[in-house]
Structure 1
Amino acid sequence: MLLGVIADDFTGASDIANTIARGNGESGGLVTSQYMGIPDYNADPTVEAGVISLKSRSVPKADAVALSLEALRWLKAQGCRQIVFKYCSTFDSTPQGNIGPVAQALAAELGVDGVVVCPAFPKAGRTIYQGHLFVHDRLLSESGMQNHPLTPMTDADIRRWLSLQVTGDVGLISLNTVRQGADALRQALAQDGRQLVVVDAVDDSDLAIIGRACAEAPLVTGGSGAALGLPANFIASGQARGHHGGGFAGAVGPEAILAGSCSGATRGQVDHHAKGHPVLPIPVDQVMTGEIGVPQLLSFLLEHSGKAPLAYSSATPEEVRAAQERYGRENVSDALDRLFASTAQAFLDQGGKRLVVAGGETSGAVAQALDLGEVMIGPEIDPGVPILISARRDAVLALKSGNFGQQDFFRKAANMLAWAGS
């Protein structure tokens, strides 16, 4: 294994696995496997990139650091020469969050400074300019992310936000330096002297430069875009052959869509899907009182098999806040995670073959409950969302970050899980 990734949630792991498997340009990507948690076995020797999926984004800092260091040590034991710490392209965190502490712990373990911090993902509209993170033409703090129920992003200045989480100063390398090329960027990182350095990027060509500059870097941090140029380094040096992906025949059998994200993008996708497909809203009050549970969700999904049925708890920011005030934020989150995870288990146990899940926390809960093992990376549905193939469960899945996907994502995903390219 050449390249190792530690991802702080399951949708983000799929996102970056998709990026690495496809690579940048004609040379292709790396032979990539995604692991649902830290494996207790050695990787297949043909795997060139391993992506470890953790559900650590919203856990206490000490727990996130311990998990991430355990993942790092497993990846190093597999022979990895470079590590990527992957977090969300909207930097989902709080001033007390763990992105900074995990990045610093990994840097300390590897003994490195001048570590790139770059959550940019231009294909999904996430860009960084003068250290500020934008979603399309809006500052992150004006994009709707300020209303996130778990990690409200109220400041778009990533350097300032990260400084609240770490010890020491955080550096910044502007787009002007990036555009001077890989050598100039490499020199700027070496001369900065600070452990973590935010690096601007507004399009894929900037990410390619960052990738070349980081060819020998033991550690890179960022969104999936930060890995865009890394496979080419291993291919150019002759360490990897270049991989263009294999075929995917699709899966035949019942399909289900579960949405637990409250992002504006997911709510729009739910509304669009409801115009032509059966949908089941899940009132939080009825979940908390036990009036609705797995039997009701499972019955709905199986009854509407073949029609891309969707069960969702997505709600407006105001509705989410009201529920959290009544029952407690953690209580609501845990109850919904358990409901979706148990429903997904029951669905596959009843012969389900195709499963689409929206929301990072929801996807993590589902993936952990299903014990998917190692999954193969299939075709891309929308930017950042590949098909995942689990031999252990004889099923195919799509795990979607709440903010990702086009308006018709749910229909498209259900179809592509059955027939690649449809």
Structure 2
Amino acid sequence: MGSSLWKTPVLVIADDFTGANDAGSGLAQAGARVHVLFGTEAPLPEDAADVLVISTDSRAVSASQAAERVAQVVQHFAAQLRQGWLFKKIDSTLRGNVGAETAAALRASGKRLALVAPAVPRLGRTTREGKVWVNQRLLTDTEFASDPKTPILSARVLDQMQIDGTEIDLPTLRSDRLDAVLAAAHGVVVVDAENEADLARLIIAAARLT
């Protein structure tokens, strides 16, 4: 992994192959050399990659199974992650084992914090006051709430994840205090975002932490 264009190795973990392909496609369009693999058993390609995208196929399994699969992937690529970025791709409407997988990735990686940003503004999915909105409607008021496998019980990200954590609201994200807040943060941190500029600001600030 690694190149002159992408100076830091990147590992992306998705809970299904569709999500893995989507992530890989977007990163490839941004200029990265990407390999998409199914689990840790798949052989690594011989040619170099800037980004590895791994599907754990864990969206529909139990929370404990999902956590175990994610932890195995993180541990398998521990050497690359010492100096690299770990992205845990989650469903923007919080379906799947979002909390269990995020917590497992954080523990297994030994990282200080996990920034959770489910917003996808181009699809009308935003995060305000720690809650997910879809086209200006609370997540719990949409058809996504009745998902038969992983029903949405709360629009608040931390509650749906069933995990302890903190939240960064829009005023903080858009202020000069963001760097200091991130530097002091630890554990799971949910970050509000309403537009692409908000997400870009978060990414730039996160990069300054490394």
Q: Which amino acid aligns with 2:180?
A: Q
Which ranges in structure 1 are unaligned for 5 or more consecutive residues? 24-28, 219-422
Q: Max radius of gyration: which structure?
A: 1
Partner residue, 1:61: 63
Q: Secondary structure at the match of 1:214?
A: helix
TM-superposed deviation, 1:101: 2.2
Hey, what does 1:209 align to over in structure 2? Answer: 201
**CA offset at residue 115 of structure 1?**
1.7
Q: C-alpha distance in 1, partners of 2:58/2:181?
A: 31
Asked if 1:177 is matched to 2:172, the reply is yes
> Residue type of the partner of 1:110?
S
Say if 1:114 and 1:36 are closer, same or farther in 2 by CA, change over 3 A: closer
In structure 1, the partner of 2:50 is 48
Q: RMSD in angstroms over aligned alpha carbons?
A: 2.1
Structure-1 separation of matches of 2:99 and 2:209: 18
**Does the CA contact (< 8 Å) of 1:82 and 1:217 recur in 2?**
no
Q: Please tell me whether residue 3 in structure 1 is matched to residue 2 in structure 2.
A: no
Amino acid at match of 1:170: G
CA contact (8 A) 2:74 2:109 kept: no
Matches within 5 A, 1:265-304: none
Q: What SS does structure 1 have at the residue aligned with 2:199?
A: helix
The secondary structure found in structure 1 opposite 2:207 is: coil
**How much does 1:78 deviate?**
5.0
Q: What CA distance in whole angstroms lies between the structure 2 residues aligned with 1:20 and 1:90?
A: 21
Distance across 2 between alignment mates of 1:75 and 1:186: 28
2:6 matched to which residue of 1?
none
Q: 1:6 to 1:109 in 2, by over 3 A?
A: same
Q: With structure 1 as the length reference, what TM-score do the two structures score?
A: 0.45
Give the 3 Å change call, closer, same or farther, for CA 45–78 of structure 1 in structure 2: farther
CA distance in 2, matches of 1:201, 1:192: 18
Q: CA deviation at 1:171?
A: 0.2
Size of the alignment, in residue pairs? 202
1:83 maps to amino acid: L
Q: Does 1:106 align with 2:108?
A: no
Contact 1:115 1:189 in 2 (8 A): no
What letter corresponds to residue 75 of structure 2 in structure 1? R
**Kept after mapping to 2: 8 A contact 1:4/1:84:** yes
SS at match of 2:24: helix
Assess if the C-alpha contact under 8 Å between 1:10 and 1:53 holds in 2: yes
Aligned pair in 2 of structure 1 residues 6, 152: CA closer, same or farther (>3 Å)?
A: same
Q: Deviations over 1:366-412 (max 9, x none)?
A: xxxxxxxxxxxxxxxxxxxxxxxxxxxxxxxxxxxxxxxxxxxxxxx
Q: Is residue 9–residue 57 contact of structure 1 (8 Å, CA) maintained in 2?
A: yes
Contact 1:114–1:190 (Cα < 8 Å) also in 2: no
Indicate conservation of the 8 Å contact 1:34/1:52, yes or no: yes
| 1:45, distance to aligned residue in structure 2 (A) | 4.4
Aligned partner of 1:160 in structure 2 is 159
Distance, in Å, in 2 between the alignment partners of 1:133 and 1:191 is 25
Is the 2:32–2:51 contact (alpha carbons within 8 Å) kept by the matching residues of 1? Answer: yes
1:22 to 2:29 alignment = yes
Alignment correspondent of 2:125: 126
CA offset at residue 77 of structure 1? 4.3
1:61 is matched by which residue type in structure 2?
A: A
Equivalent pair of 2:36/2:52 in contact (CA under 8 Å): yes
**Using a 3 Å threshold, how does the CA distance of structure 1 residues 152 and 62 change in structure 2: closer, same or farther?**
closer
Structure 2 counterpart of 1:88, from 91, 94, 108 = 91
> Structure 1 residue 217: deviation in Å?
5.8
Structure 2 CA distance for aligned equivalents of residues 35 and 216 of structure 1: 29
Does residue 147 (structure 1) correspond to residue 136 (structure 2)? The answer is no
How far the C-alpha of 1:59 sits from its partner, in A, is: 1.0
Quick one: percent identity of the two aligned structures? 32
Post-superposition offset of 1:112 = 2.7
- Deviation, structure 1 residue 131: 0.6
Contact 1:135–1:143 (Cα < 8 Å) also in 2: yes
Q: 2:182 aligns with which of 189, 192, 198?
A: 189
- The match for 2:20 among 5, 13, 22 is 13
Describe the SS at the equivalent of 1:72.
Answer: helix
Change (3 A) 1:103 1:135: same
Asked if structure 2 preserves the Cα contact closer than 8 Å seen for 1:170 and 1:198, the reply is yes
C-alpha separation between the residues in 2 aligned to 1:192 and 1:69?
22
Residue 71 of structure 1 aligns with an amino acid whose one-letter code is: V
Deviation at 1:86, TM superposition (A): 0.8
> How much does 1:72 deviate?
1.3
Q: Distance in 2 between matches of 1:149 and 1:100?
A: 18
